[in-house]
Amino acid sequence: MARTKDSLPTHLQQLLNALPERPGCYLFKDEQGEVIYVGKAVNLRNRVRSYFHASAQQHPKTRRLVQRIADLEWIVVGSELEALILEMQLIKRHRPRYNVRLKDDKRYPYIKVHWADPFPKVSVTRQPVKDGSRYYGPYTSVWAVHQTLDVLRRIFPYLTCNRSTITGQDERACLYYDLGLCAAPCIGAISQEDYRQMIEHLCQFLEGRTEPVIRRLETEMREAAAVLGFERAARLRDQIRAIREVVQKQRVVSQKMLDSDVLALARDDGEAVVQVFFIRGGKLIGHEHFVLENTEGVPDEEVLADFLKQFYESHAALPRQVLLPHEVEEARLITQWLRQRGRGERVEIVVPQDEEQQALVALAAQNAAETLRVLRARWEAEKHRQTEALAALQEALDLERPPNRIEGYDISNLQGTAIVGSMVVFEQGVPNKRLYRRFNIRSVVGHPDDFASMEEVLTRRFRRWQGAQARVGAPGAKLDPAFGRLPDLLLIDGGKGQLARAVQVLERFGLQERVAVVSLAKREEEVFLPARPAPLKLPRDHAGLFLLQRVRDEAHRFAVAGHRARRQRQNLRSLLEEVPGVGPKRRQALLARFGSLEAIRRASVEELAQVRGISQALARQIKQALE
């Protein structure tokens, strides 16, 4: 049954009546205060109120969304383009369950060329930042990135060591120089100018512009041979040969085409995959596929529009042309935004008209369909394994039902400092990283006490569950979705002692009958249960044990990462405090400007000097101290 305006609670009706007739973004929230949908509108009043017309709720997904709306808020902006940009930021921040989303967006790896450094290095990152570096990607496979870097390093032997200053005066180079995998500017084997030129060639190679690189290298080879620099000439000859071997594997798809990205969409039973072909200089230099979530019932043109916004929002280099299989309603607005991102460079979104481009889109569509078929087979196999694991765990632990929600906990510290507790959540046997949480331990200071630390973590977790229960249904309540539900199974990393503390916490909250709890000891992989004196030893190939190990290892990884980050922040803070001239006010100004100590560390001297009260000389001191 449709949910119309007249049947809404009074506070929602009042909000709908107060909506302005201006462009902006709107956020729908559920009873727990979680943002479940973000949208934009030229006219907020008309767009938001339209959801509560019976005709708008014909599709089950829209009907489910509207049924769950308990609250809403909006943000007014100056134009439709500003609304588009804000919408993307809000979706990235909240990851609403009813928005079409790139699966794990912003987690794709990029190749990073540290161009701002005197001797640029090449690395892999998942978080592009505006630091003067050049980024290439995204890739959907870390393995593919490292394969690419293996090829690049043989052709362009770039630096990989951690040295911050290179003078060219070192006595000897590292082993990588002997292996031909480093140009060794540290011993002066290559000048800074020549090294940067080599990295420029590497960048052009990643952009698919290999012919200018080859022509320049051929010129340098002839010049070296002319002055009897035969060793350098031979090195350049081998470099040219290696580039040509790679280029021969690239398929020529067009003699006239602009640098283009070709997109195609494949869908089946609620799943969607977008295939992207990257064409540079008329050659197909690479292709990637991207999985989209929450596409059920959404028209193809909307799915493609959402993909365009999320994909190119983080894409490092924009093509001149984006080819689509059909028109999208927001093409004009997205084109305007892309040109703004490209600082005025011409970017076009087009549906191909000539046979050559149509054939490329058709080829991308075939690849998308085949990729989706393979992924679905893999997902089905994984789902079957997860169902088996949950059933095996239910039987082994004598549970009333399969443990569809498992929460894993671990503690990480270094001699009692920077103690961090982790909480990871697996639903249906799969990690739900949106619900992961960390706890900075407050009750234990100066000495390690994992028992007390675990007790604090669990106490805070279930206290938040209690608070969430008390606020359910309250208008405007903002509740953390991680704590609103109880787990079916609580997994503690450790043995009997850690398990006993967990049981005490559950008893304190009256949850001992509602939440099952076990601990898993690392040495023998023994499972301890509250009412059982001897540990349960499951077979090494037991599907349930595999699942427990995955949860335990993920909780450990998450705790260690949090501990290292906290320790690094403490170290950075102490380093910052030791810089002469940086008192509390200047530290506060730096944090206000950059948001975190890590961001201060990444900032350039010029960026630091832009902060009020920070001179160029002091900025250099800060930079040196934090490095």
This prediction's pTM: 0.66
* Residue type for position 425: V
* Residue type for position 523: R
Residue 387 has what pLDDT? 92
Residue 410 has what pLDDT? 92
For range 404-417, the mean pLDDT: 85
Q: Residue 107 above 70 pLDDT?
A: no
User: Greater confidence, 583 or 410?
Assistant: 410
Q: Residue 477 above 60 pLDDT?
A: no
3-state class of 280 per DSSP? strand
pLDDT interval class at 623 (50, 70, 90): confident
For range 377-382, the mean pLDDT: 87
Specify the pairing of strand 405-414 against strand 489-493.
Answer: parallel
Q: List pLDDT tens digits, range 189-244.
A: 888 998 998 898 888 877 777 777 778 778 888 888 888 878 778 877 877 777 67
For range 22-33, the mean pLDDT: 89
For range 104-122, the mean pLDDT: 80
Q: List pLDDT tens digits, range 118-168.
A: 899 988 887 777 778 888 877 766 776 777 788 778 778 888 887 767 888
pLDDT interval class at 475 (50, 70, 90): low
The chain-wide mean pLDDT, for the chain, equals: 84
Q: Residue 46 above 70 pLDDT?
A: yes
Residue 478 has what pLDDT? 61
Q: Residue 254 above 70 pLDDT?
A: no
- In 3D space, the residue among 332, 329, 335 whose CA is nearest the CA of residue 304 turns out to be 329
Residue 457 has what pLDDT? 92
For range 440-460, the mean pLDDT: 85
Q: Are 99 and 37 in contact (CB under 8 A)?
A: yes
Q: List pLDDT tens digits, range 271-328.
A: 899 999 888 777 777 788 889 988 988 899 999 999 999 888 877 668 888 999 999 9
Q: State the angle between helix axes of 210-226 and 192-206 in degrees (0 to 180), rounded to the nearest 10.
A: 150
Spell out the SS3 assignment of 426-443: EECCEECHHHCEEEECCC
Q: Residue 593 above 80 pLDDT?
A: no
Residue 458 has what pLDDT? 94
For range 551-572, the mean pLDDT: 82
* Tokens coding 469: 């229960």
3-state class of 605 per DSSP? helix
Q: Residue 1 above 70 pLDDT?
A: no
Residue 403 has what pLDDT? 95
Residue 490 has what pLDDT? 95
* Tokens coding 205: 């190679």
Q: List pLDDT tens digits, range 327-340.
A: 998 899 999 998 88
Residue 265 has what pLDDT? 94
3-state class of 287 per DSSP? strand
Residue 257 has what pLDDT? 61
Specify the pairing of strand 516-521 against strand 526-528.
Answer: antiparallel
Residue 260 has what pLDDT? 86
